[in-house]
Chain A
Amino acid sequence: MTDSKNKVIELEKAVIRFAGDSGDGMQLTGSLFSDSTAFAGNDFATFPDYPSEIRAPQGTVSGVSGFQIHFGSNDIHTSGDQADVLVAMNPASLKANKNWMTNDAVIIVDNDAFTEKNIIKAGYENNPLTDGTLNGHLVVNAPIATLTKAAVSELDIDNKSAQKSKNMFALGMIFYMFNRSYEKTFTFFENKFKTKPLIVESNKLVLKAGYNFADTIEAFTNTFKIAPAKLNKGRYRNVTGNLATAWGLLAAAERSGLKLFIGSYPITPATEILQELAKHKQFSAVSFQAEDEIAGIVSTIGASFAGALPVTSTSGPGLSLKSEALGLAVMTELPLVVVNVQRGGPSTGLPTKSEQSDLYQALFGRNGEAPLIVMAASSSSDCFYSAFEAVKLSLEHMTPVILLTDGSLANGSEVFKIPKVNSLPKIKPPIAKANDADYKPYARDSKKLSRPWAIPGTEGLRHRIGGLEKENISGNVSHNPENHQLMSELRQEKVERVADFISSQTVEGDENADILVVSWGGTYGVMLTAVEQLLKEGYSIAFTHFKHIMPFPKNTEDILSKYKKILVCEINMGQFVNYLRMKFPKYDYGQYNKIQGLPFTVAELKKEFITLINQ
C-alpha cells in the first residue's frame, strides 16, 4: 500500500469530516478511521455531530449526521475548527457543512446521490457540483453507489444490503489519501460480523474498491502522511467523555472499597454513563433505571444512606427536576455525586448540542441556603479524573457534588493515557464504627466539618435523618433559631473548606502578560490551542482554566489580581463571569460568549484575544 504513484506530503495535522444521512453510517466510519489513527500513532480528538431525530427525513439538511476527527503529530486539544477534507455522501451533507470546511478543502462526494430530487431536497437551486459554488476546492466525484454495487457483484448479496457498505467505500478513499493500512479495519469486520461472513466479505471488498478507486483515478495529486505524535511512554486508548466519566466512577468505587449505585433516568446526552455502568455488574456496580429524574436521585440518596457509592447522571432539564432532592442531600449531609452533562437550554432546548449554561443552576438552583461542591471536567479524558475526584470529595467531605461536563466532552473523544488504578489516591469516607459510644449523627470532623457516615445495619448507631433542620451534634429535629443559623453556616463552611483539599489554580502561557484569558469546563482544549498559537506567533498572553468552581482554589484571587485585563470566555451568556464578579468584585472582567449550540473555534478566540491585546 505504499506503492503510491503520487507524491507523499508530510503534514503536522489534518481535520476530516465525514457527513451523510443519519442512516449512512457516518459515526461508524468516523470511529473506524479513529481506530486506524490510533494505530498510526497520531494524537487525535473527535466530535460527532448528529440530529436529535433518530432518522430525520432522508436527504434533508436536518437529517445530516457528521463525524469530525482532528489528528496530528503534535498535541491535539480540539476536534478542529474546519475540515481539510469533507466526505459528503449526498447534497444535504454538502450543504450542511459548507461553513465547516476550509476554503481549499478537498471534498469527496458520492455523485450518484446528486440527483435532481436530492439536490432540491437539500435546498439547492442548482447542482452545486457544476454551478461553480465549489470553486477553489478539489472536488473528487466518485460514483460510490454504482461502484459499491459493482464491487460485490460476485457475492450473493442483494443491492439494498450491499449499499449499506457505501460508507466503507468512502473510508477506503480516505485510507488511500492518508496512506493508511486497512488490516485493522478488516479485523474489526471479522469480529463485528462473526456470524455473517457475507457482510464481512462485502465490507472488505467495498473498502478495497474505494481504496483502489482513489489510487486509479489519480484525482489526488498527492497523498498525505502524518508522523506519529510524540506522546509519553505508556499505554493509550480512545475515550469519549461519557465513557471516561463512567470509568472514573468505577475506579473510585475500587479505591474506596464501596459498591457503586447509580440511580438514573435516560436523557441525552448523559445516557451513555448509565448504559456503561449497567454493563459492569461484575464490579458489584448496580445500576437502577428509575421511573423519572426525581426517583433517580432519590433512590441514590437512599443508596447513599445505606452505604453505597452514590451516583446519579443527568442533563439540564433533569437537573431541574432533581433540585428538591439535592436539598435533601445537603440537609442530610450524605455523599452524592450528580453528573450533569450540559446541553443547550432552556427547556428541551437543543438536546444534542452543547452549552455551558447550567452553571447558575448547579450553584444556586435550590430552595434555601444549599451549598454544595461544583466542579467541571475540562476534556473528554479529564472526565475520568474529574469523576474520580468528585467521588473522593463527596465521600470524604460528606456532601453532594455536582460535576458538570457537556455534550461536546460527552460525545467527543480523545486519546487517553491509561492510568494504573492503584496509582490513584485512596478514598477514605468517614464511616462510623459499630458501637462507638461517642457517636453523634451531626458531630463533625474538626478539619473537614464532615459528619460521620453511620450505615444502617451497624450495631449501636441507630439514628434518624431527614429534610427537617437538625440540631447540631445530636441530629434531633430542631426549629431553634440560633441552631438554624449555626447549621446554615456549618454547611457553608464545610463546602468552603474543601478548598484546603484541592490543587491550586495554575496559569499557563506567559504568566507575566498583561492579559489573562479565563475559561472553565469543556472549553479547555480550544482555549489552550488558541493561546499556544498566539504565543508561537509572539503574543504575550496568560491563561487560567477552572475545574473547581465551588469552592474556588485558594489562590484564585492572587491570580486574578495580577492582570490588567481579564477576559472570561464561555458557551453561555456569562454565568461564570458573573459568578467571578460576585466572588471577586475588585476586578474588571471582559467577557466573550457564544450561544449557538456550537463549540468555540480556535480562530474566533484568537481574533478576540488579539483585539484585546491590541486595545
Chain B
Amino acid sequence: MENIIDTAKLVLTKKDFESDQMVKWCPGCGDHAILKSVENVFPELGIPKEDFVVVSGIGCSSRFPYYMNTYGIHGIHGRAAALATGIKIANPKLSVWMITGDGDSMAIGGNHFIHVARRNPDVNILLFNNKIYGLTKGQYSPTTPKGSKTKTSPQGSFETPFNPGELVMGARGKFFARVVDTNIKMMTRIFKEASEHHGASIVEILANCVIFNNKVHGLITGRDTKEDNQIFLEAGQPMIYGKEKDKGIILDGAQLKSVTIGENGITESDLMVHDPTTEDSGIHIMLANMAPPELPAAMGVIRSVKAPTIEDSVWASVEHEKQISPLKNVDDLLNSGSTWDID
C-alpha cells in the first residue's frame, strides 16, 4: 500500500487512483468496467486526491474501496449510507463515494438507503444492481424479477421486486440516474454529473453478474437489442430512441407511451422533452419505471433537483449558534443556570 506523495495536487491521472491491490472480481464481471469508469472520473473533478473517500458495505461491489488508491472504508452489510453520512457531516470538504449493491442497499440496508436519499448529504452513491446475491453465491435479492429461479427460490421468486429509482423518489431523493455497465463512456459522463450535483446523487448501474445471473439485463444491454430498449435522457431534449432514431415517448393521458415518428401523424414536436429539474417527481417515477418490451429503459440523469444538503444546514447552524450563544466555552456552560458558592 504505497502512498505516492505528490505535490502537484490537481494535475491527476488515472494512475493516481489505481491501487496496487489485486482486483479479485470474476473475469467478465461488470464491476471491472465500473472501476475503470470511476478511475476515469476522479482525475477530472478538480478535487485533491487526498479528499476522496470511498465507502462501502458488504458484497462483491463493496470490495471497491480496496481497489482505489484513496482514503477508503469497507463497512458492514447495509450500513454504508450511515458511514457516508457520518463522514460527510463530520468533514464536508471530502468527496464521498459510496459503493453498494442491490442486496446491500435494497435489503439489509434498505432503511439507511431511504434515509440517505431524504437527508440529502452531498455523497455519490453507485448502486450496482445485478439483481442477485453474488458473494453468497446466487440467492434472489429485492430487485430480482418475480418468478426468477435462484438457489433460495427454486420454484421461482414469489416477491415483487423494488425498482431502485422509484424507491429513491418515494424517499424524496433529489438525484437519480441510471447507466449500464457495458458503456464506459456513459458511466464516466454520468458519474461526473453525479459528482457535480450538490446533494445525494444516486446512480443505479445495471451490472451483470457473469456467474450467477448472467445477462439479466440482456435485453437492455445486448448488442442487437440495446438501441431499441434503452433511451438516454438529455435535459431539454425530446425523448427519442431506437436504432433508427425514429421512436419517442409521449404522455398519453396519465401514461407514458412509445410512438414512432412519422406514424399516425406523430412528429418530433409531439414528444416529451426531458426536464430532470422539476420538484414534482411524478414524471420521473414514470420514467424510472419504464421497462422493455413496451417501453425502453431510461438511462442518464432522470432526476436532478437542487436542495440544501444536511451538512450545509448543520454547519450553518453551528456558525449561527456561535454568533448568538452566550456560552463561549465549556466553563461558561458548567457555570450557567443555577449555581451557588461555598466560601
Question: Interface centre among A253, A324, A456, A461, by most B CB within 10 Å?
Answer: A456
Q: Is B21 an interface residue (CB 8 A)?
A: yes
Give the contacting residue for B50; candidates A283, A292, A459; CB below 8 A.
Answer: A459
Q: Which residues of A contact B48 (CB under 8 A)?
A: 459
* Cα-based distance from A303 to B311 in the complex (angstroms): 12
Give the contacting residue for B340; candidates A236, A286, A300; CB below 8 A.
Answer: A236
Q: Is B148 an interface residue (CB 8 A)?
A: no
Q: Which residues of A contact B70 (CB under 8 A)?
A: 462
* Cα-based distance from A41 to B339 in the complex (angstroms): 11
Q: Is A314 an interface residue (CB 8 A)?
A: no
Q: Which residue of A lies closest to B326 (CB)?
A: A282
Interface-located stretch among A11-19, A101-109, A468-476, A526-534: A468-476
Contact B84 A302 (CB under 8 A): yes
Q: Which residue of B lies closest to A437 (CB)?
A: B5
Contact B49 A295 (CB under 8 A): no
Residues 72-91 of B contacting A (Cβ, < 8 Å)? 72-76, 79, 81-91
Q: Is B40 an interface residue (CB 8 A)?
A: no
Q: Is B217 an interface residue (CB 8 A)?
A: no
Q: Which residues of B contact A292 (CB under 8 A)?
A: 111
Give the contacting residue for A476; candidates B21, B322, B329, B330; CB below 8 A.
Answer: B21
Q: Is B334 an interface residue (CB 8 A)?
A: yes
- Give per-residue flags for A300-317: 1 if the beta carbon is below 8 A from chain B beta carbons, else 0: 111111111000000000
Q: Which residue of B lies closest to A184 (CB)?
A: B338
Q: Is A557 an interface residue (CB 8 A)?
A: no
- Give per-residue flags for A460-491: 1 if the beta carbon is below 8 A from chain B beta carbons, else 0: 11111111100000111100000000000000
Residues 419-443 of A contacting B (Cβ, < 8 Å)? 419-421, 435, 437, 439-441
Q: Which residues of B contact A455 (CB under 8 A)?
A: 91
Give the contacting residue for B339; candidates A236, A298, A454, A458; CB below 8 A.
Answer: A236
Q: Is A47 an interface residue (CB 8 A)?
A: no
Minimum CB–CB distance for A326 against chain B, Å: 10
Interface-located stretch among A48-56, A132-140, A197-205, A226-234: A226-234
- Give per-residue flags for B8-49: 1 if the beta carbon is below 8 A from chain A beta carbons, else 0: 010000000001010000000000000000000000000011
* Cα-based distance from A263 to B73 in the complex (angstroms): 18
* Cα-based distance from A579 to B202 in the complex (angstroms): 48
* Cα-based distance from A280 to B88 in the complex (angstroms): 20
Contact A467 B318 (CB under 8 A): no
Residues 520-574 of A contacting B (Cβ, < 8 Å)? none
- Give per-residue flags for B214-242: 1 if the beta carbon is below 8 A from chain A beta carbons, else 0: 00000000000000000000000000000
A456-B322 in contact given A235-B335, A325-B79, A463-B3 (Cβ < 8 Å): no
A456-B339 in contact given A292-B111, A328-B76, A419-B334 (Cβ < 8 Å): no
Q: Which residues of B contact A464 (CB under 8 A)?
A: 1, 19, 54, 65-66, 68, 71-74
Q: Is A1 an interface residue (CB 8 A)?
A: no
Give the contacting residue for B337; candidates A237, A298, A327; CB below 8 A.
Answer: A237
Q: Is A8 an interface residue (CB 8 A)?
A: no
Contact A254 B339 (CB under 8 A): no
* Cα-based distance from A466 to B48 in the complex (angstroms): 23
A232-B322 in contact given A298-B86, A437-B5 (Cβ < 8 Å): no
Q: Which residues of B contact A437 (CB under 8 A)?
A: 5
Q: Which residues of B contact A286 (CB under 8 A)?
A: 89-90, 314, 318
Q: Which residues of A contact B21 (CB under 8 A)?
A: 476-477
Q: Is B112 an interface residue (CB 8 A)?
A: yes
Minimum CB–CB distance for B324 against chain A, Å: 8
Interface size on B, residues (CB 8 A): 66
Contact B82 A295 (CB under 8 A): yes
- Give per-residue flags for B304-343: 1 if the beta carbon is below 8 A from chain A beta carbons, else 0: 0000000000100110111011011111011101111111
Q: Is B168 an interface residue (CB 8 A)?
A: no
Q: Is B115 an interface residue (CB 8 A)?
A: yes
Contact A306 B86 (CB under 8 A): yes
Q: Which residues of A contact B55 (CB under 8 A)?
A: 302
Contact B338 A302 (CB under 8 A): no
Minimum CB–CB distance for B85 against chain A, Å: 5
Q: Which residue of A lies closest to B48 (CB)?
A: A459
Q: Which residues of B contact A250 (CB under 8 A)?
A: 330, 333
Q: Which residue of B lies closest to A415 (CB)?
A: B340
Q: Which residues of A contact B324 (CB under 8 A)?
A: 282
* Cα-based distance from A261 to B49 in the complex (angstroms): 25
Minimum CB–CB distance for A219 against chain B, Å: 31
Contact B87 A282 (CB under 8 A): no
* Cα-based distance from A231 to B340 in the complex (angstroms): 11
- Give per-residue flags for B117-161: 1 if the beta carbon is below 8 A from chain A beta carbons, else 0: 000000000000000000000000000000000000000000000
Question: Interface centre among B56, B86, B334, by most A CB within 10 Å?
Answer: B86
Q: Is B69 an interface residue (CB 8 A)?
A: yes
* Cα-based distance from A328 to B115 in the complex (angstroms): 22
Q: Which residues of A contact B337 (CB under 8 A)?
A: 237
* Cα-based distance from A286 to B9 in the complex (angstroms): 30
Contact B115 A299 (CB under 8 A): no
* Cα-based distance from A324 to B58 in the complex (angstroms): 13
Contact A418 B334 (CB under 8 A): yes
Contact B321 A281 (CB under 8 A): yes
Minimum CB–CB distance for A419 against chain B, Å: 7
Q: Is B53 an interface residue (CB 8 A)?
A: yes
Contact B91 A306 (CB under 8 A): yes
Q: Which residues of B contact A259 (CB under 8 A)?
A: 90
* Cα-based distance from A454 to B54 in the complex (angstroms): 15
* Cα-based distance from A440 to B1 in the complex (angstroms): 9
* Cα-based distance from A460 to B48 in the complex (angstroms): 11
Minimum CB–CB distance for A254 against chain B, Å: 5
Q: Is B94 an interface residue (CB 8 A)?
A: yes
Q: Which residues of B contact A251 (CB under 8 A)?
A: 330, 334
Give 5 A-B contacts (CB < 8 Å), ordered by A residue.
A41-B342, A280-B327, A295-B115, A302-B82, A464-B73
Extra inter-chain contacts (18) besides given A235-B335, A301-B86, CB under 8 Å: A38-B340, A235-B342, A236-B339, A237-B339, A247-B334, A280-B333, A281-B314, A282-B324, A283-B333, A295-B111, A303-B86, A305-B83, A308-B90, A328-B76, A456-B51, A456-B91, A457-B94, A462-B50
> Which 3 interchain pairs have the tightest Cβ spacing?
A466-B74, A302-B86, A299-B86
